[in-house]
A and B are shown apart, each in its own frame.
Chain A
Amino acid sequence: MTALSIIELYVFVLAAFVGYQVITRVPPLLHTPLMSATNAISGISLVGSLVAAGSDHGQVSTILGFIAVVAATINVVGGFLITDRMLKMFKKRGGGDGGSGVEQKPPELPRKKD
């Protein structure tokens, strides 16, 4: 094992640890946005795809790279857009958005007729 891959292993383990610590704190409320967010972030394989598609190491490599670029871009563009769309929907009661039909203050008189 080279020194380089040892460092890479460090990076991986520490990143996974940070990920674990952060993600265990994400409330179940946001689990679906979390999935789409990590999906969008893992679209970072676009970075590898770009090099494969543009490095001119032969036609096979270019075409595989091209398809990879398409697939990863779908995830990046679609993933971030849909996460944003979802997160926009999560609103608190009376959270400043008018016209949502949600009443702004809790009802005061708890009358019970029966």
Chain B
Amino acid sequence: MGDREWSRSHPSYPVRKTSASWNSESVIGLVLPTPHPPLPRMREYFIQAAYLTASVLFILGLKSLTRPEKAQRGMQQAALGMLVAIAGTLVHHDIVRYDWIIGGLILGSLIGYPLGMFVPMTAMPQRIAISHMFGALAATLVGVAEYWQHSHGNGVGSAEGTAAISQGKMAALGFEVLFGALTVTGSFMAFGKLQEILPGRPITYRGQNVINLALFAATLGIFVYLIFNPGNAVLFYTMIALAFVIGILLVIPIGGADMPVVISLLNSYAGLASAATGFAIGNNVLIIAGALDGASGFVLSIIMSKAMNRSFGNILFGAFGSVVTSTARSVTGLTARSISAEDAAMQLGYAQSVIVVPGYGMAVAQAQHQVRELAELIEKKGGEVKYAIHPVAGRMPGHMNVLLAEANVPYDRLYDMDDINPEFERADVALVIGANDVVNPAARMDPGSPIYGMPILNVDSAKNIIVLKRSMNPGFAGIENELFYNAKTSMLFGDAKASLAALVGEVRNL
């Protein structure tokens, strides 16, 4: 470890004599460090006031998200809170040099700005996944820096320095780097799958779960050992490396359709890593923000798994759709009825009530603008158009809502599953655009189907059903969909965007 000697012998390296400096200085939390003269104490009050303000603004910001019309203003206030927290931190007495800080802030802003302003809404799932990675990366690195300071910094040798880490602090550091590291690689894998750098289908091999569990147990063992023997730096870094590997292994067997759950779960982990950072460096605003983030990811994961009628364990270890040994009822012998754009347009143009059911296929074809155009034409002709949004339609929570909002569809026409399901029987036409599993009646009727029990949109009770689909290939999960063979169903084959454009043209000419 040559760098340790360098740091100790380096002339500019500040040698701190007080052993208490570690504990008191790292506390940006509740207790104010006493050994400072009045001015630094004022500074400490200022920092705490800034953090408290930020925490309150964060909670108010999240609360504003319960009301769409208040949300934008609320989140702007939360951003202000962030600014206040950063300003407060910059006067922190531990900060003695600003060159790296300013450089980092500028570089981060330069990368963050285009990621915020120019990423299209269709790329939102991968955008969210990659941001989980950045958040977790920051938490992990802060944890490593913190540990490294103990083993190398303060002029204290490795053994004494790290031995000084209390068990509570080591536990916090351990959680921080564990959750952080596995979220970094996990999110990156999720990003890769969503961006289609990696194959979106589940990657499985024999003994996968056994290997994963063994790795997990080993990592946990090291973690527990470290809590009692914090001085073992090699094990600390081994643990991080293992967590990186676990992150990869956790996500590769998960298929695209399960991504909403995975993204929510990673959201939760990233939050927990932040909260653990707060524990490790004794910073309350980190604990609060991390807890909010963790709770949010947790709630979303629960909602998503409920919407798929599956448990976390099943999603993480089940490798959905990898083995299509479907015991589900076969559809051989049934024929699907194909329809021309002209005939479909007739049905849509003269319908009084149309329910649009968008799915991932709409996102892939980027057809949301054509959907809105078609809906406007139908409305002009006197029909009413509503949108039925299944909670797991698409690749992340709320995916369809964002796409349709981008296309200027007013949000009061977007209906949740429970609100819209009773309305299908009154609908003249249900227009299914690139959705498959979320409208598959097998979930209700066929106990042999892998998706049995999953709540679905009751499209099959509509008077007429038009399905826009590329081909008769079964969807991602490889499950046949009886809806397509329903007597009321007509299939309009082709790219969703092209089909919709044709429909728009035909309805206009009616």
Smallest Cβ distance from A43 to chain B, in angstroms? 6
Contacts of B69 in A (CB 8 A): 92
Contact assessment for B279 and A90 in the assembled complex, using a CB-CB cutoff below 8 Å: no
Instruction: State in angstroms the CA–CA spacing of A32 and B95 once bound together.
Output: 36
Q: A residues within 8 A CB of B97?
A: 54, 56, 62
Q: Is B298 an interface residue (CB 8 A)?
A: yes
B352 contacts A by Cβ under 8 Å: yes
Known contacts A27-B66, A39-B128; is-contact A33 B134 (Cβ 8 Å): no
0 or 1 for each of B234-277: is its CB under 8 Å from A? (1 = yes): 00000000000000000000000000000110010011011101
Residues from chain B with a CB closer than 8 A to the CB of A32 are 124, 128, 396-399, 401-402
A95-114 CB mask vs B (1 if < 8 Å, else 0) is 10000111100010111111
Closest to A99 in B: B408
B283-327 interface bits toward A, Cβ cutoff 8 Å, 1 = contact, 0 = none: 111111111111111111001000000000000000000000000
Contact (Cβ within 8 A) A71 B108: yes
A63 shortest CB reach to chain B, Å: 8
State which of A34, A75, A107 has its C-beta within 8 Å of the C-beta of B138. Answer: A75
Q: Say whether B398 contacts A33, CB under 8 Å.
A: yes
Whether B300 contacts A31 by the Cβ 8 Å rule is: yes
Enumerate A57-114 residues with CB–CB distance to B below 8 Å.
57-95, 100-103, 107, 109-114
Q: A4-B27, A8-B278, A28-B401 are in contact. Are A66 and B168 (CB under 8 A)?
A: no
Given contacts A58-B152, A62-B100, A82-B116, contact A38 B412 (CB under 8 A): no
User: Do the beta carbons of B293 and A41 come within 8 Å of each other?
Assistant: yes
A46 CA to B431 CA, complexed, in Å: 46
Interfacial chain B residues near A18, Cβ < 8 Å: 59, 292
Given the known inter-chain contacts A22-B59, A51-B89, A73-B109, please indicate yes or no for A2 contacting B166, CB distance below 8 A.
yes
Q: Tell me if A102 and B31 are in contact (CB < 8 A).
A: no
| Size category of the binding interface on chain A | 35 or more
B142 at the A interface (CB under 8 A): yes
Q: How far is the CB of A59 from chain B (nearest CB, A)?
A: 7
Q: How far is the CB of B236 from chain A (nearest CB, A)?
A: 14
**Interfacial chain A residues near B58, Cβ < 8 Å:** 41, 44
Chain B interface mostly: helix
Contact B154 A5 (CB under 8 A): no
Are B104 and A69 in touch, CB under 8 angstroms? yes
A50 touches B92 (CB 8 A): yes
Given the interface contacts A48-B281, A71-B108, does A91 sit within 8 Å of B410 by beta carbon? yes
Q: How far is the CA of A16 from the CA of B276 in the complex (A)?
A: 13
Q: Are A87 and B104 in contact (CB under 8 A)?
A: no
| Contact A60–B3 (Cβ < 8 Å) | yes
Quote the shortest CB–CB distance from A38 to chain B (angstroms). 4
Q: In the complex, A102→B446 CA distance in Å?
A: 42
- B299/A24 in contact, CB under 8 A: yes
Chain B residue nearest to A63 in the complex (CB): B100
Q: Are B299 and A20 in contact (CB under 8 A)?
A: yes
Is B104 in contact with A35, judged by CB distance below 8 angstroms? no
B200 contacts A by Cβ under 8 Å: no
Chain A contacts of B354 at CB under 8 A? none
Which listed residue (A47, A77, A79) contacts B285, Cβ 8 A? Answer: A47
List the one stretch of B190-198, B374-382, B498-506 in contact with chain A. Answer: B374-382
Which of the 9-residue segments B70-78, B208-216, B224-232, B331-339 touches chain A? B70-78
Give B120-145 interface residues, CB cut-off 8 Å to A.
Answer: 121, 124, 127-128, 131-132, 134-135, 137-139, 141-142, 144-145
Tell which of B27, B62, B142 has the most Cβ of chain A within 10 Å: B142
Between-chain CB contacts (< 8 Å), 20 pairs:
A4-B30, A8-B29, A12-B288, A19-B59, A20-B295, A23-B300, A28-B401, A29-B401, A33-B75, A35-B264, A41-B78, A50-B89, A61-B153, A65-B142, A65-B145, A78-B131, A79-B112, A79-B131, A80-B79, A90-B411
Q: Residues on B close to A: CB < 8 A? A: 3, 6-7, 13-14, 27-31, 51, 54-55, 58-59, 61-63, 65-66, 68-69, 71-72, 75-76, 78-79, 82, 85-86, 89-90, 92, 94-98, 100-101, 103-105, 107-109, 111-113, 115-117, 119, 121, 124, 127-128, 131-132, 134-135, 137-139, 141-142, 144-146, 148-149, 152-154, 166, 168, 263-264, 267, 270-271, 273-275, 277-279, 281-300, 303, 350, 352, 376, 379-380, 382, 389, 391, 396-399, 401-402, 405-406, 408, 410-414, 416
* Given A37-B62, A53-B100, 20 additional A-B pairs, CB 8 A: A5-B279, A8-B29, A8-B287, A11-B284, A12-B288, A19-B291, A19-B296, A22-B63, A38-B62, A45-B135, A48-B278, A51-B28, A60-B152, A65-B100, A68-B142, A69-B138, A75-B112, A77-B115, A80-B116, A89-B121
Residues of A within 8 A of B (CB): 1-2, 4-5, 7-8, 11-13, 15-20, 22-95, 100-103, 107, 109-114
Nearest first, the 4 A-B pairs at minimum CB distance are A73-B108, A81-B116, A69-B104, A31-B398
